[in-house]
Amino acid sequence: MRELDVARVTEAVATLAVEACTYLGDDLMAFFQKAAEREESETGKDILAQLLENAKLARDTNMPLCQDTGLAVVFLEIGQDVHLVGGDLEAAVNEGVRRGYTDGYLRKSAVADPIGARVNTGDNTPAMLHTRIVPGDKVRVIVAPKGGGAENMSAIGMLKPSQGRQGAIDFIVDTVAKAGPNPCPPIIVGVGLGGTFEKAAYMAKHSLLREVGSTNPDPRLAELEDEIERRCNALGIGPAGLGGITTVIDVFVEELPAHIASMPVAVNVQCHSARHKEVVL
């Protein structure tokens, strides 16, 4: 059985947190460019050009793209043939967040006692950690800093099965409409369909790791994603909410079977600073 020291996970989390916050993916850079060309609103074009310039500046100067460097969402896919040694895995992940956010000059945005004193934890811990056991002898580490503005516009609906496909689409589009200018559009709409309450929310979040412009391998879901995207872009919200045809960057749907009584629909809203970086150990 392969042994892996958790210190390597710490190192990976620290490095990926800084990289994610300063180095926007090529998929989004390409989107800003293309969207600026086809956007009908002059103001919208200008905003998209600013976002491209901002991302380039962040890459060149190692300054975070956005001051909201988020809560540190961490996904670990742990091969079942790996033996993790050298300490507590969860503590190792938190140590990575602590180091990345402190040494990397990222903002610490975590507050304890959320409905009371709201005291900053000082080092952006704890990580929002999701682990999965998968076949193999590798560990995949994904860090996806998540800002508060877009997260606040997210929603979950435990809809009635009678509402069907149309009801689900209406709920998703309504969530985007209500969010308006608040979550820093253009946004990515992450959707989790089915499962239980928490699985739907998890799928919505996990879907955001997909590459912008990629096609869902399931043609039924690909068609659904296109329909949601068309309806959202017809809302007119536009870049920065100032009006335009570019409200949504992409729509990603994940799905699980649901209970015979349930139709959960979760919508996780992602701002245009869609940050995630990964490494395989």
Partner 1 sequence: MDGDKIVGGESTGGAGGREIRIVTPLTDEVIESLHAGDRLLITGIVYTGRDAAHKRLIALVDEGEPLPIDVRGQIIYFVGPTPAKPGEVIGSAGPTTSGRMDAYSPKLLDLGLKGMIGKGSRNEAVKEALKRNKAVYLGATGGAGALLSRRIIASKVVAYEDLGPEAIRELEVKDFPVVVINDMYGGDLYVEGRKKYERKVGP
Burial (CB count within 10 angstroms: exposed 0-12, middle 13-18, buried 19+), residue 174: middle
Beta bridge partners of 140: 77, 280
Q: Applying CB under 8 A, does 164 fall inside the site for partner 1?
A: no
Closer by beta carbon to partner 1, 157 or else 241 = 241
Least distance between partner 1 and beta carbon 17 (Å): 12
Q: Applying CB under 8 A, does 83 fall inside the site for partner 1?
A: no
Among 141, 191, 204, 271, binds partner 1 (CB under 8 A): 271
With CA atoms as reference, report the closest residue to 66 among 74, 75, 57: 57
Q: Applying CB under 8 A, does 144 fall inside the site for partner 1?
A: no
Three-state DSSP state, 175: helix
Q: DSSP labels for 239-258? A: GGGSS-S--EEEEEEEEEEE
Buried b or exposed e, range 9-36, using 16+ CB within 10 angstroms: bbbbbbbbbbbbbbebbeebbebbeebb
Least distance between partner 1 and beta carbon 83 (Å): 38
Contact track, partner 1, 91-130, x by CB under 8 A: --------------xxxxx--------x-x-x--------
Q: Applying CB under 8 A, does 174 fall inside the site for partner 1?
A: no
Residues in touch with partner 1 (CB under 8 A): 40-43, 46-47, 50-51, 53-54, 57-58, 61, 63-69, 105-109, 118, 120, 122, 148-149, 152, 166, 169, 180-184, 227, 230-231, 234-238, 240-245, 271-273
